[in-house]
Chains A and B, each alone.
Chain A
Amino acid sequence: MSTPRHGPPVRRITHLLDIAAHAQAFAPPHIVWRQLLGPSRVPAPSPALMFGGAEAAVARQLFGQIDIAAAGCFAMTDAAIGPGGVIIKDSTAFFGATLGTPEAQAAIIAHRLNACAATTCVAPGAAASLFGAANDRLSLLTEVMPALWIIAAAGYTDLLYVPIPAEAHPDARPMLLAAGLSASQLLPCDTIDSVFRSPRVLAPARLGHGVRFSPLMGEATRFWTTKLRATLGVAPPKPQRPLFLSPRDGDEPEVADWQSIEAAAAERGLTIFHPEGLSLAERTATYSEAKYVLGFDGAALMEACIFAPPGIPVCAIRGNSTASARLPGLAAALDHKFGTIFARTDSDNPDAPVQVHGGDVQRAITAMSLMAS
């Protein structure tokens, strides 16, 4: 296995193009799109439960998107992977929702690359663009890791090199290693201007689009989580106990009375789980045993969705003015029965922090235990 070497700088970028809209103009052999599933128009899966009442904006988020984007993988010969997931070929920078790279960000990156002498490396083989503009845990779990399956399902069996941006989530490297990549395949980007040239660049399309996910998300998630469990020595998922995800100290949720909710959950027999500070293996093992999960909306609940046995009830607790951005769609794509307890506004004191009604917690736990039985 060879290591990357420095190469000539990329050409001056003169064009910005949305890859999904313009791929056909660069027909093979320049850009190849291998489609795994075409676009579809399907109603959003209904939440299995909702309690507490919610504003009309919540419903628009939950039910308003009926379009699901196509799934597949772009391949370009002799191209480069730039910062923020921008793909550069000749003097064109490609961006797009399908790459996780907004146009505005692509424009900034192009300007910066034109203005400075970017550090250009040449990958020893095919390189995959897995990281987009966002580098939080959500994008790691729902975009970066599932992309490994897209590449495999599209039939690309090359030994892949993956540039990892310096600002990537701390779990990115251990997860990619646990999913089967070797350390030599991971190409660290030391600076924000790093550009990796490759004889073949693979750019898997994001499985998430808006608040919806492709029906292929379940298979893609099983692909990498199965490998990760095997590497970490974690048993396959099997529902055993209901979990309540406790928020970490100093990161309290928007709901004012979260301690009483935690106490109510404990009284109903849920295991109180504090995921923060635990290793990936410890978190994965616990989520794999979940019979149903109740927790405050956030990254921990997202991670629980990913590693929990498929088909379990998962319920988020949050305020009543917006819905979770992507959790309902992700949970549905993973066949979970998703629900939300919305905290209520005090009509006498609308500026006070929202509070969850105790009865809503009890009703939600009852509903989840019925669904899980």
Chain B
Amino acid sequence: MQRVEKLEDLTRYTPPPGARPFDYLPIDPVGRSPAPPPLFLFGPATPTVHEEIFGQHDTPPVGCYRMAGGGVAGGGIPIQHDTAFTAPSLLHPRHVIIATVGRMAQALLPHRHIEGMVAVIYGPAYQTYGHWLADFLPRLWVLAATGHDIGSLAYVMPEDLGTTARDLLLCIGIAPSQIIIHDPKCEHLTADLLLVPTGLRLGNRMNRHFGEATRFWIDRLRAHTSLPHSEAGTRLFLSRGRTSQERAILNRDAVETVAAERGFVPVCPEIFTIPEQIALFSGATMLVGEYGSALHGAVYSPPGTVVCGLRGNSRHPSFIQSGMGAGMDQHTGYVLGDTAGQTVQQRFSIDLADFERALDVVQAQAAPP
């Protein structure tokens, strides 16, 4: 296999003369619009928080790249011949691509070639559940919208794909036989034609088709999966008490007590199966919880749902929920805790009076007019 020596930005790439076939099927060009404001933003807001929420004006172009003889490097980085590719909506940081293809060049690995079309829909942070909802599953819609039958395509997936992501794919109707497990540390993988659908996210902003793209895969999921009964109009408090304690909320018990007093049912979604989670979220019209993947489950909730994220006031983990909420016609607000001096662990406390105010707004917004 050819050594990767170049890094090109797909949005500006023109194949050199004599290169293997490469084309792009556009759906939507790059956009520029004011960021939708949050429903509320309680707590101390740093300049960075304001910049993250109000300062991102660009939305990504959406389409599907097709690369004859294309291959996949670690993290879902597309390569063709001697060139690795980057694009803002594929989300791979440039320095990560350089490091990844650098490691490839040093390794003498066997080459596996797949006949036919293979799609790569995953990207950075693929082991995090929330990124499948925000970034990767909407790419199925991009494939379909550019004329591909997602029910018959093959999908390359990393060998350390989490079980939750795998379960999601199966629930959507992707058969196990369609999934090609690939370990970039052990092999080079290429296909006759590699399909690289773009994501619909750029920073915290979403392409205007995000809602349509999300409903596409959720509709397939509902069609392929038997869901438990869901109770309409529920209020959920999504706790991260049983998951990673990165960005831990220090007064979680007090916050959960306040939420419970206001009728919010505390849940840890990760203990439920995918169908159970979908049923849980489908009935909710008010979601409050610590910022993270669980909150992104709001995509299963109806339009008009009010979502309140509790998080620190550092840049990480961004405000992707705002973009998702705007795309799903939901209302998103935040209560911030100060993470000053907590730049690594980002622990924070929530002011309970501010939390009460936020719940007032959540309930007023969710109330019928």
Q: How far is the CA of A134 from the CA of B73 in the complex (A)?
A: 69
Is B110 engaged at the interface, CB distance under 8 Å to the other chain? no
Q: Tell whether, in the assembled complex, residue B34 and residue A48 are in contact, meaning their CB atoms are under 8 Å apart.
A: yes
Digitize A323-352: 1 where CB-to-B-CB distance is under 8 Å, 0 elsewhere: 000000000000000010010100000000
Is B187 engaged at the interface, CB distance under 8 Å to the other chain? no
Interface pairs (24), CB distance under 8 Å: A46-B40, A49-B34, A50-B41, A50-B54, A51-B47, A51-B51, A53-B49, A56-B43, A56-B44, A59-B42, A59-B43, A59-B45, A60-B42, A63-B41, A63-B42, A63-B333, A63-B357, A64-B357, A66-B361, A342-B50, A344-B47, A363-B51, A367-B35, A370-B57
Q: Which residue of A lies closest to B54 (CB)?
A: A49
Is B146 engaged at the interface, CB distance under 8 Å to the other chain? no
Q: How far is the CA of A202 from the CA of B51 in the complex (A)?
A: 48
- Given A48-B37, A360-B50, 6 more A-B residue pairs with CB atoms under 8 Å apart are A43-B40, A48-B54, A51-B54, A54-B45, A63-B357, A357-B47
Q: In residues 174-214 of chain A, which contact B (Cβ within 8 Å)? A: none
Q: Tell whether, in the assembled complex, residue B50 and residue A53 are in contact, meaning their CB atoms are under 8 Å apart.
A: yes
Is B2 engaged at the interface, CB distance under 8 Å to the other chain? no
Q: Are A43 and B364 also in contact (CB < 8 A) when A48-B37, A59-B45, A60-B354 are?
A: yes
B364 interface neighbour in A62, A66, A339, A367, Cβ under 8 Å: A66
Q: Tell whether, in the assembled complex, residue A41 and residue B55 are in contact, meaning their CB atoms are under 8 Å apart.
A: no
Q: How far is the CA of A151 from the CA of B297 in the complex (A)?
A: 50
Is A52 engaged at the interface, CB distance under 8 Å to the other chain? yes
Q: How far is the CA of A71 from the CA of B87 in the complex (A)?
A: 54
Is B26 engaged at the interface, CB distance under 8 Å to the other chain? no
Q: Tell whether, in the assembled complex, residue A370 and residue B33 are in contact, meaning their CB atoms are under 8 Å apart.
A: yes
Q: How far is the CA of A223 from the CA of B34 in the complex (A)?
A: 31
Main secondary structure of the interface of A (DSSP, over half): mixed
What is the size, in residues, of chain A's interface with B at 8 Å between Cβ atoms? 32
Q: Name the residue in B34, B38, B41, B333 with the highest tally of chain A Cβ atoms < 10 Å from its Cβ.
A: B34
Main secondary structure of the interface of B (DSSP, over half): mixed
Is B276 engaged at the interface, CB distance under 8 Å to the other chain? no
Q: How far is the CA of A66 from the CA of B361 in the complex (A)?
A: 7
Smallest beta-carbon distance B337→chain A, Å: 10
Q: Tell whether, in the assembled complex, residue B40 and residue A50 are in contact, meaning their CB atoms are under 8 Å apart.
A: no
Q: How far is the CA of A59 from the CA of B334 in the complex (A)?
A: 11
Spell out A's residues near B (CB within 8 Å). 41-44, 46-56, 58-60, 62-64, 66, 339, 342, 344, 357, 360, 363, 366-367, 370-371
Residues of B within 8 A of A363 (CB): 51, 54-55
A-B residue pairs, 3 tightest by C-beta:
A46-B37, A53-B47, A63-B40
Q: Tell whether, in the assembled complex, residue A63 and residue B361 are in contact, meaning their CB atoms are under 8 Å apart.
A: yes
Residues of B within 8 A of A366 (CB): 57
Spell out B's residues near A (CB within 8 Å). 32-35, 37-51, 53-55, 57, 333, 351, 354, 357-358, 360-361, 364-365, 367
Q: How far is the CA of A48 from the CA of B40 in the complex (A)?
A: 11
Q: How far is the CA of A153 from the CA of B321 in the complex (A)?
A: 43
A52 interface neighbour in B41, B50, B361, Cβ under 8 Å: B50
Residues of A within 8 A of B351 (CB): 56
Q: How far is the CA of A53 from the CA of B51 in the complex (A)?
A: 9
Q: How far is the CA of A43 from the CA of B40 in the complex (A)?
A: 8
Q: How far is the CA of A62 from the CA of B54 in the complex (A)?
A: 16
Q: Tell whether, in the assembled complex, residue A60 and residue B357 are in contact, meaning their CB atoms are under 8 Å apart.
A: yes
Residues of A within 8 A of B47 (CB): 51-53, 344, 357, 360
Q: Tell whether, in the assembled complex, residue B50 and residue A50 are in contact, meaning their CB atoms are under 8 Å apart.
A: yes
Q: How far is the CA of A55 from the CA of B351 in the complex (A)?
A: 13
Residues of A within 8 A of B365 (CB): 43
Q: How far is the CA of A300 from the CA of B365 in the complex (A)?
A: 33
Smallest beta-carbon distance A60→chain B, Å: 7
Q: Which residue of B lies closest to A367 (CB)?
A: B34
Q: Name the residue in A52, A62, A63 with the highest tally of chain B Cβ atoms < 10 Å from its Cβ.
A: A63
Q: How far is the CA of A56 from the CA of B338 in the complex (A)?
A: 10
Q: Tell whether, in the assembled complex, residue A367 and residue B54 are in contact, meaning their CB atoms are under 8 Å apart.
A: yes
Smallest beta-carbon distance A320→chain B, Å: 9
Q: Which residue of B lies closest to A51 (CB)?
A: B50
Residues of B within 8 A of A42 (CB): 364
Q: Tell whether, in the assembled complex, residue A47 and residue B37 are in contact, meaning their CB atoms are under 8 Å apart.
A: yes
Q: Tell whether, in the assembled complex, residue B57 and residue A367 are in contact, meaning their CB atoms are under 8 Å apart.
A: yes
Q: How far is the CA of A197 from the CA of B123 in the complex (A)?
A: 78
Q: How far is the CA of A367 from the CA of B39 in the complex (A)?
A: 18
B34 interface neighbour in A344, A360, A371, Cβ under 8 Å: A371
Q: How far is the CA of A66 from the CA of B44 in the complex (A)?
A: 20
Smallest beta-carbon distance B291→chain A, Å: 17
Q: Tell whether, in the assembled complex, residue B354 and residue A46 are in contact, meaning their CB atoms are under 8 Å apart.
A: no
Smallest beta-carbon distance B339→chain A, Å: 13
Q: How far is the CA of A73 from the CA of B341 in the complex (A)?
A: 54
Smallest beta-carbon distance B53→chain A, Å: 8
Q: How far is the CA of A113 from the CA of B84 in the complex (A)?
A: 86
Residues of B within 8 A of A357 (CB): 47
Q: Tell whether, in the assembled complex, residue A43 and residue B50 are in contact, meaning their CB atoms are under 8 Å apart.
A: no
Q: Are A53 and B364 also in contact (CB < 8 A) when A59-B354, A370-B33 are?
A: no
Q: Are A53 and B45 also in contact (CB < 8 A) when A63-B40, A370-B32 are?
A: yes
Q: How far is the CA of A47 from the CA of B40 in the complex (A)?
A: 9
Smallest beta-carbon distance A261→chain B, Å: 16
Smallest beta-carbon distance B25→chain A, Å: 28
Smallest beta-carbon distance B48→chain A, Å: 8
Residues of A within 8 A of B33 (CB): 370
Q: Which residue of A lies closest to B38 (CB)?
A: A46
Q: Tell whether, in the assembled complex, residue B46 and residue A53 are in contact, meaning their CB atoms are under 8 Å apart.
A: yes
Q: How far is the CA of A344 from the CA of B50 in the complex (A)?
A: 12
